[in-house]
Amino acid sequence: MNEKAQIVDLQSIGHSSGIITVAESGRDFPFSVQRAYFLHGLTERSKRGAHGHVKLRQLMIAVSGSFRVSLTGVQGTEVFRLSEPTQGLLIPPMTWRDIDEFTNSAVCMVLASDRYDEADYIRNYSDFLDRLKSEN
């Protein structure tokens, strides 16, 4: 299960009245959406994430504004700047995430493979690293 975090391009269709951007399960990301949520009302000082998931997969999209996502997993640590609503960041299981450097208008949408389950969270970074090491 050595999936890699990656940016995926989402289909956008322009029209004289605006643009529609579509994220489709099976085409743009490899899971069915069981939960969707938005982070908003964020400031430049906001810090989100600071956890990993055992099984959960996510597609994270900057619907408005921009922010930085630092991911640590089997591939090491990678940093992404999300700023285009036409791109999503695919986050595999066993990936720690830290999200910061939000612009004032930032809205982060997350599509998740499962419903909320506290047992799937790893909230201590040392515990996360120990588990990551033991699984690989």
Residues involved in catalysis: 51
Q: What are phi and psi of 49, to 5 degrees?
A: 85, -115
- The residues that bridge with 15 in the sheet, in sequence order, are 18
Please give the Cα distance from 110 to 35 (Å, whole number): 8
Q: Which residues contact 67 (CB under 8 A, 6 or more apart)?
A: 42, 81, 82, 99, 100, 101, 102, 103, 106, 108
The two structure tokens encoding residue 49? 């994430």
Element (DSSP H or E) covering residue 131: helix 125-135
Please give the Cα distance from 91 to 56 (Å, whole number): 9
Please give the Cα distance from 100 to 43 (Å, whole number): 9
